[in-house]
A and B are shown apart, each in its own frame.
Chain A
Amino acid sequence: MAFEPREEQTKLIYDELRIYSDEELNNYTEEELKNFKCKHDIPDLDEMEKGPWPSYVADAKREALHRRNLAEDRMLIHRDVVEDLLGQVQLSFDEGETHWKHGGIVGVFGYGGGVIGRYSDVPDKFPSIAHFHTIRVNQPASKFYDSDYLRTICDLWEFRGSGLMNMHGSTGDMVMLGTFTEQLEPIFFELTHKLQQDIGGSGSNLRTPSCCVGKARCEFACIDTQDMCYEFTHYYQDELHRPAFPYKYKFKFDGCPNCCVASIARSDMSFIGTWRDPIRIDQEAVQAYIGGEIEPAGGSHRGRDWGKFDIQKEVIDRCPTHCMHMEDGKLMINMADCTRCMHCINVMPRALRPGTDTGVSILFGAKAPILEGAQMGILTIPFMRCESPYDNIKEVVEKIWEWWPEEGKNRERLGELIQRQGVRKLLEVLDIPPMPQMVREPRSNPYIFWKEEDVPGGWDRDINDYRSRHKR
């Protein structure tokens, strides 16, 4: 089904929205850049520009020079914001401690997230970064933009902010780095009213949902991640903007188990596209891979002599569950043992494809290490149908959102609550039976216990009757 936006969309035309002329945008030469000297002495940062890797310092210097050459009335925050930023980073390197103060009251009216307050604790030395707030801009699903949009937002940020951005932050959002408090509301107005753009999540909120490129460009996508991400972003707007959770909560959507947005490692609730019928095998293409007519892994290892493609060594022996073998020249897969690791499909994409009976696996509790160390998501729902408007999946979301906000402590992630109360409790909340696969080591984590109502006759027994059959 073709994509249908929820609001009427206006085509953004840069020439109508632009703030800067071409001359202003291209206002320095490479020669000037070579001779550029930051107003602060920044020897350690200069050092970071050396070596083979690109450095943010080189980008920041371009921006600093660009701002230096703009007319004073063409920027609404200080011209020197980038140079002061570099100066403060150098000071932090010198002293081995940060000079940022984090957090505060800043935000836009009615929103509890999307703006992260940041202040310099040495504003006398670096007045241009006395405020240096971050704004998270909710990226479109799979980060598809057109250049009119990107140019318009860059102009806006040059005019009302520092001009420095992350494309994109690890949250998925477009991250606009550094502005003053008085600019927040005007920026929000421009974003929402002119660019039809919302800000993202931060704080104890649902964070900006994020997805892989999905069916837009990927043949492996088993679910429409973009549609799902768009739907969940709209449906759960209140949770995104008005914080009432114990801590952050993340949804991420991966179209297949290749997990390109790493939902399995980074989201409290990870959605991974999967299939439950057999992997589709084109035996002729398998032979073509064996015969060297098709390059393995889409040619991603070309350019070096790795020797002839060896299906036994490079595919069959690498299967983690040993579910593949060759029989009479044909590749056979025992699907009951397949864990959807995707290795065989990635190596021979023209011979093997995911099945057609597709849906989603749902995992819970992944997080980065703040408390208790990093955790991967627990595969809790191996397969669920995944079709718009996703009511069956929203039901699961809401069961978790009845439990975690109630039982979770302040600043406790879902994964930590699962650890504290046990997987059994999670299964009770979701009303699903335990699976043997959930027990990794039966003798060390036997967390499934019978409850009285599960046992015929309950716990009551006649001790005399028992003793008649069992001697003391």
Chain B
Amino acid sequence: MEEIKKAILDFAETSKKTKFYFKDIEKAVKKVIPDAKPREIKKAATALINAEKLIYFSTGSSTMYGLKGRGQTEDH
């Protein structure tokens, strides 16, 4: 779990875009940890949301993730 969290944060810090889909997270994690299961990745992402390191960004119809403090992360 900690390894997956680290992979997610590494991706969130360095990705070209500041907001990304869950599939982008999955792809990035699998590059580092090929046998990571989607459910484990989701659990790790949820834990990072609860730890206030990641944030959700929703248009109402689809949802993206972002790193808190990177790009637009406050209410506008």
B38 touches A112 (CB 8 A): no
- Flag whether A37 is at the interface (Cβ < 8 A): no
Using Cβ atoms and an 8 Å threshold, which residues of chain A touch B50? 110
Using Cβ atoms and an 8 Å threshold, which residues of chain B touch A107? 56, 58
B60 touches A410 (CB 8 A): no
A203 touches B49 (CB 8 A): no
- Flag whether B23 is at the interface (Cβ < 8 A): yes
Using Cβ atoms and an 8 Å threshold, which residues of chain A touch B72? 105
- Flag whether A391 is at the interface (Cβ < 8 A): no
Using Cβ atoms and an 8 Å threshold, which residues of chain A touch B21? 204, 246, 410
Which residues of A are in contact with B by a Cβ distance under 8 Å? 101-107, 110-113, 115-119, 131, 134, 181, 202-205, 238, 242-248, 405-406, 409-411
Using Cβ atoms and an 8 Å threshold, which residues of chain B touch A405? 23, 38
Chain B: interface size category: 20 to 34
Which residues of B are in contact with A by a Cβ distance under 8 Å? 21-24, 38, 41-42, 45-46, 49-50, 55-63, 72-76
Using Cβ atoms and an 8 Å threshold, which residues of chain A touch B73? 105
Within the assembled complex, what's the spacing in Å between the Cα atoms of A246 and B50? 21
Q: How far is the CB of B38 from chain A (nearest CB, A)?
A: 6
**Best-surrounded residue of B21, B50, B55 (most CB of chain A within 10 A):** B21
Q: How far is the CB of B75 from chain A (nearest CB, A)?
A: 5
Within the assembled complex, what's the spacing in Å between the Cα atoms of A409 and B22? 11
Using Cβ atoms and an 8 Å threshold, which residues of chain B touch A202? 58, 60-61
A204 touches B38 (CB 8 A): no
Within the assembled complex, what's the spacing in Å between the Cα atoms of A242 and B62? 12
Using Cβ atoms and an 8 Å threshold, which residues of chain A touch B46? 110, 242
Q: What 4 new A-B contacts, CB under 8 Å, besides A202-B58, A243-B56, A245-B22? A: A117-B60, A134-B60, A204-B22, A243-B58
Using Cβ atoms and an 8 Å threshold, which residues of chain A touch B38? 244, 405-406
Known A-B contacts A103-B57, A243-B22, A405-B38; A204 and B63 likewise in contact (beta carbons under 8 Å) = yes
Contact of A248 among B24, B61, B76 (CB under 8 A): B61
List the B residue with the shortest CB-CB distance to A115.
Answer: B58
Using Cβ atoms and an 8 Å threshold, which residues of chain A touch B55? 105
List 16 A-B residue pairs with CB atoms under 8 Å apart, sorted by A's residue number: A105-B56, A105-B75, A112-B49, A117-B60, A118-B60, A119-B76, A203-B60, A203-B63, A204-B63, A244-B22, A246-B21, A247-B62, A248-B61, A405-B23, A406-B38, A410-B62
B63 touches A205 (CB 8 A): yes
Within the assembled complex, what's the spacing in Å between the Cα atoms of A322 and B74? 62
Contact of B63 among A106, A131, A243 (CB under 8 A): A243
Q: How far is the CB of A419 from chain B (nearest CB, A)?
A: 19
Q: How far is the CB of B2 from chain A (nearest CB, A)?
A: 19
Within the assembled complex, what's the spacing in Å between the Cα atoms of A119 and B74? 13
Within the assembled complex, what's the spacing in Å between the Cα atoms of A113 and B23? 17
Known A-B contacts A204-B22, A245-B22; A181 and B75 likewise in contact (beta carbons under 8 Å) = yes
Contact of B62 among A106, A181, A204, A406 (CB under 8 A): A204
B63 touches A113 (CB 8 A): yes
B61 touches A104 (CB 8 A): no
Within the assembled complex, what's the spacing in Å between the Cα atoms of A261 and B76? 37
List the A residue with the shortest CB-CB distance to B45.
Answer: A244
Using Cβ atoms and an 8 Å threshold, which residues of chain B touch A119? 76
Contact of B60 among A105, A116, A406, A409 (CB under 8 A): A116
Known A-B contacts A112-B49, A244-B22; A103 and B42 likewise in contact (beta carbons under 8 Å) = no
Q: How far is the CB of B72 from chain A (nearest CB, A)?
A: 7
Using Cβ atoms and an 8 Å threshold, which residues of chain A touch B63? 112-113, 203-205, 243
